[in-house]
Amino acid sequence: MAATHASLQAGQVAMTTAPAEQPRIRIRDVTLSYGALQIIGGISVDIAAGETISIIGPSGCGKTTLLRMLAGLARPTTGTVELDGAVLGGPDRSVAIVFQDYGKALLPWRTAAGNVSLALEARGCPAKERPVIIRELLDKIGLGRHADKYPSEMSGGMQQRLQIARCLAQEPKVLLMDEPFGALDAMTRQALQDEVLALVATTGATMVFVTHDLEEAIYLGDRIVCLQPNPGRIGRTVEVRLPRPRDQLVTREDPEFLRLRRELYDLIKDDHQ
Amino acid sequence: MNNLSLRRLLLGLLGLAAFILVWKLITDAKLVSPIFFPSPQRTLTSLINGLGGGPLLGQTLETVERMLLGWLLASLVGIMLGALIGVSRRARAYIAPTLELLRPLPASAMIPIAIAFLGFSDQMVLVVIAFGALWPMLLATIHGFAAMEPRLYEVSAVLGLTRLQIIWKLALPSAMPMILASLRLGLTISLILAVVGEMLASREGLGQSVLLASRSFRSADLFAGIVILGAIGLVGSRLLSAAERRLLRWQATSR
Ligand SMILES: Nc1ncnc2c1ncn2[C@@H]1O[C@H](COP(=O)(O)OP(=O)(O)OP(=O)(O)O)[C@@H](O)[C@H]1O
Ligand SMILES: [Mg+2]
């Protein structure tokens, strides 16, 4: 219970503006242990529908583990993850996850269109309707001209775009992203940040975005959850009061952006000492 | 690209010509009695006569049919059984070691058993072929399933794919490179067993024809049969390689 209160301190403002609304995701006193080793030590967060949460923290503090629990791929040892008020018992089609290793998450024997199609086949979308949906999705994510390419013929950025397109084909309510742009160059990275923000804005999806990059966390998020290691728990939750839509030049020069960057930097630095 | 394959073909033909030349030199010098070892010319004559008006064409078709039927049966059973064992990690752990142990035995050990049950019949030969050629496909499918990228199992769980969809859309295609290679091996085994089966059970076909030719010292006919058997193996393996390249197009660029 103590952890619940601690995590709420900085999130108060968002909570009070819409008090009655049920959160899309409710993480309640979640812990996770592998044998005797505790990896996650009591995390509680509420995430509102349409909100974007960035998660930062030092390597090995449990960011991926937390995200996997939200995806239903790992089970909390104690505590629960709730989606729209119902306890999440396993993977759910309405929660999509974009893996960091895009190369492994795609089917190398299917073209870009075929990879997107997999998500449609899974949810029983009739074969006749698929081409139109695939076309739209690939256009949206900037792969319209590459529908017939195999992943081995695509660049890293294109493959990660493709994975995102497949996740969107799931029509998820929640989009989980685990350092999705870590392996990409700065320009591709910024382009994808903007694409993802636009997609989230139009679909109204809730996003949880794990990253190592403080600026990325600020640029994308409504709130930033800072995890501390051994065992993984919430150190601070920071509100991001920057106007949307965000802009790579304007937002990043905003005094608030710079202040947040400084604040987070000091916070992380403390963790590393 | 085309230039390269043309050169390869030329080199291959050159090697074949050299082989035939050595063959001719040996027979011309009479190093081995012509009763056992015919010259290339005599072999060719026998080949042309046999395929023209003689029984060779019919026998070839018999053997090819036997080989293909057995191979299809072996592939179907091998891949289906392999998929059943392969999807379950536990089944894999229990069954795979036993299979590895059994693999070197079956083809030959199976023949007396098959004869006991089915007599000297076409069915017996078919069963022996299918059973002997089953192993490469079975093991390749099991290994292919086991080697599937674990991340893809997670992707399928998140997308909500059914078990059947996982087998059909993920595991089988990802095991396809291994399975296709095993199909080629299986075809070779099928050809060998078709010939052996014909010899043992006196069924119509190249195997029997070759055996009879050898017993009556018709060395030219014997060699004509062997040449055809070699050609069948070559054509089969080439056709499967071509199919492999087509089906694995997605791999080609990554190498
Ligand atoms: N299957 C497992 N068995 C045992 N320990 C594990 C397992 N998976 C993860 N861990 C441990 O859990 C801790 C958290 O791992 P996790 O991958 O969640 O960290 P992370 O914050 O995502 O790190 P990074 O930023 O490097 O990706 C690590 O110390 C790791 O060693
Ligand atoms: Mg991680």
Model confidence pLDDT, tens digit, residues B60-115: 999 999 999 999 999 999 999 999 998 888 888 888 888 888 777 667 677 888 88
Is the same domain home to A66 and A134? no
Residue A18's pLDDT is: 46
Q: What are phi and psi of A34, to 5 degrees?
A: -105, 105
Q: Which two tokens stand for residue A185?
A: 């160059």
Cα distance between residue A103 and residue A182, in whole Å: 13
Is residue A265 lining ligand 1, measured as CB closer than 6 Å? no
Pairing of β A206-210 and β A25-34: unpaired
**Domain encompassing residue A144:** 106-171
Of B154, B169, B250, the CB nearest to A73: B154
The domain covering B38-254 belongs, at the CATH homologous superfamily level, to MetI-like (1.10.3720.10)
Q: How far is the CA of A63 from the centre of ligand 1 (A)?
A: 8
Q: How many other CB atoms are there within 10 angstroms of residue A200's CB atom?
A: 18
The mean per-residue pLDDT over the stretch A26-30 comes to 95
Percent of chain A with pLDDT over 70: 92
The answer on pLDDT for B153 being more than 80 is: yes
B87-113: string of b/e by CB count within 10 Å (b at 16+)?
beeeebeebbeebeeeeeebbeebbee
> The tokens 């071509």 sit on which residue?
B242
Residue A244 C-alpha, separation from nearest chain B C-alpha, in angstroms: 31
Q: What pLDDT score does A273 carry? A: 59
A152 touches chain B (CB under 8 A): yes
Of A125, A154, A171, the domain-final residue: A171
Report the CATH number at residue A42.
3.40.50.300
pLDDT over threshold 50, residue A4: no
Best B159, B161, B163, B247 residue to mutate vs chain A (most A CBs within 10 Å): B159
Among A142, A171, A200, where does a domain finish? A171
- Quickly count: other Cβ atoms within 10 Å of residue B43's Cβ: 23
Residue scoring higher pLDDT (B183 or B202): B183
Do residue A110 and residue A183 come from a single domain? Answer: no
pLDDT tens for residues A138-180? 998 889 999 999 999 999 999 999 999 999 999 999 999 999 9
d(CA B170, nearest CA chain A) in Å: 8
A51-102 pLDDT tens trace = 999 999 999 999 999 999 999 999 999 999 999 999 999 999 999 999 989 9
Q: How confident is the model at residue B253 (pLDDT cuts 50, 70, 90)?
A: low
A222 inside domain: yes
**In degrees rounded to 5, what are phi and psi of residue A262?**
-65, -45
With tokens 């995806």, the residue in question is: A71
Would residue A74 count as lying in a domain?
yes
* Phi/psi-derived region of residue B31, left when phi > 0, alpha when psi is between -120 and 50, beta in every other case: alpha
Same domain, A232 and A118: no
Instruction: Share the mean pLDDT of chain A.
Output: 89
In chain B, the N- to C-terminal Cα span, in Å, equals: 15
Instruction: Verify that A34 and A50 share a domain, yes or no.
Output: yes
Asked whether residue A215 falls in the same domain as residue A135, the answer is: no
Going from the Cα of B200 to the center of ligand 1, the distance in angstroms, rounded, reads 62
Asked if A167 and A180 sit in the same domain, the reply is no
The answer, for B149 touching chain A at a CB cutoff of 8 Å, is yes
Given an 8 Å threshold on Cβ–Cβ distance, is B158 in contact with A123?
no
pLDDT at A1: 40
Q: Going by DSSP bridges, is the β-strand pair A95-98/A174-178 parallel, antiparallel, or unpaired? A: parallel
Per-residue tokens: A120 = 């449609």
- Is A41 within 8 Å of A232 (Cβ atoms)? yes
pLDDT in tens, A217-238: 999 999 999 999 989 999 899 9
The stretch B33-44 carries a mean pLDDT of: 82
Would you give the DSSP letter of residue A22?
P
Say whether pLDDT at A5 is over 90. Answer: no
Asked whether residue A165 falls in the same domain as residue A177, the answer is no
At A238, list the tokens: 């920071």
A25 lies in some domain: yes
The answer to whether A99 contacts B151, with C-beta atoms less than 8 Å apart, is yes
Query: What residue spans define the domains of chain B?
Result: 1-31, 38-254
**Co-location of A24 and A89 in the same domain:** yes
Using the beta-carbon criterion (under 8 Å), do B158 and A105 form an inter-chain contact?
no
Mean pLDDT for the stretch of residues B204-210: 87
Q: pLDDT band at residue A7, thresholds of 50, 70 and 90? A: very low
Identify the band that residue A3 occupies on the pLDDT scale cut at 50, 70 and 90: very low
- A130 vs B212 pLDDT, higher one: A130
Structure tokens at B101: 């142990």
The reply to whether residue B165 touches residue A121, judged by beta carbons under 8 angstroms, is: yes
In this structure, which ligand is nearest to the CA of A68?
A: 1
B31 secondary structure, DSSP code: S
Distance of alpha carbon B25 from alpha carbon A127, whole angstroms: 65
Distance CA(A8)–CA(A47), nearest Å, equals 11
Q: Are residues A87 and A209 in the same domain?
A: yes
Total structural domains within chain A: 2
Tokens of A125: 């979308």
> What ipTM does the predicted assembly reach?
0.85
CB A209 within 8 A of CB A217: yes
Sequence length of chain A is 273
Is residue A107 within 8 Å of B170, Cβ to Cβ? yes
Whether A270 is covered by a domain: the verdict is no
Please tell me whether residues A22 and A84 are part of one structural domain: yes
Instruction: Please tell me whether the peptide bond between B38 and the residue prior to it is cis, using omega within 30 degrees of 0.
Output: no
A215 domain residue, yes or no: yes
Same domain, A59 and A1: yes
Question: A78 with A187, same domain?
Answer: yes
Q: Position B208: which residue type?
A: Q
In ligand 1, the atom with minimum distance to the C-alpha of A66 is 18
